[in-house]
Amino acid sequence: MGDAWPWLALVGLGMFHGVNPAMGWLFAVALGLHRQSRNVVLSALAPIALGHVAATALVALAVVALGAIVEPRLLRVAGGVLLVGWAIYHGLRGHRHRVRFGMQVSYGGLAAWSFLMAGAHGAGLMLVPALIPLCLAGTPARELLSGGSLLIALLAIGVHGLAMLAVTGLVALLVYDRIGVGFLRRGWINLDLVWVLALLATGSVLLIS
């Protein structure tokens, strides 16, 4: 479990991002309903996942680059400060900066929307605690891959992205085919609050570890 927890965290965060309507499935369903096509829902999933992966990949590459010149302890502290700061910002002002695209958006625009939403939510920052031990420590996975930290970072983002895509697609199809978006008005967990608390908790753990 000691070596597996970063991978499990990446998968778990990918699943959480997939469940969160702000990360894509609600937009995919809205496009499908607007254009009256289930195929539109399915075709929207790829650009949504691509934008999300691109946003998280930027953070992963930053971790690898900084890890070459900064001690892991300092990197953990910096990551903790960023996570706590982002949680405070997101909790106070994040709802005022929603990224809006119309129903005529192209797939390129949809990928850009997903990229911006993932960045606005700090999705990549949340992966830092899992990326540091994977990319900057002598884990078995890193030793098996000749590309070292960079290859591990790309693999980690791929695992996270696949988990996000799978859950996003599953939720989008369930809502489009069976449930309908009306349940959001009847009752839905405040995932923004859950996300803010998760950012705070993760940042605090990094600071005290």
| Tens-digit pLDDT profile for residues 174-203 | 999 888 777 666 656 677 788 888 889 888
Measured between alpha carbons, how far is 175 from 178 in angstroms, rounded to an integer? Answer: 6
pLDDT in tens, 95-104: 555 656 666 6
* Helix runs in 68-106, H state only: 72-93
Q: What mean pLDDT is predicted for residues 101-129?
A: 84
Phi, psi (rounded to 5 degrees) for 188: -155, 140
Domain boundaries defined on the chain: 5-208
Q: What mean pLDDT is predicted for residues 74-101?
A: 78
* pLDDT higher than threshold 70 for residue 46: yes
> Residue 98 burial (CB < 10 Å; 0-12/13-18/19+)?
exposed
> Residue 189 burial (CB < 10 Å; 0-12/13-18/19+)?
exposed
Determine the residue type at 103: M
Q: Which two tokens stand for residue 24?
A: 């894509």
- Position 139 scores a pLDDT of 47
| Global confidence as pTM | 0.84
- Position 147 scores a pLDDT of 52
* pLDDT higher than threshold 90 for residue 141: no
Band the pLDDT of 59: cuts 50, 70, 90: very high
Measured between alpha carbons, how far is 119 from 30 in angstroms, rounded to an integer? Answer: 22
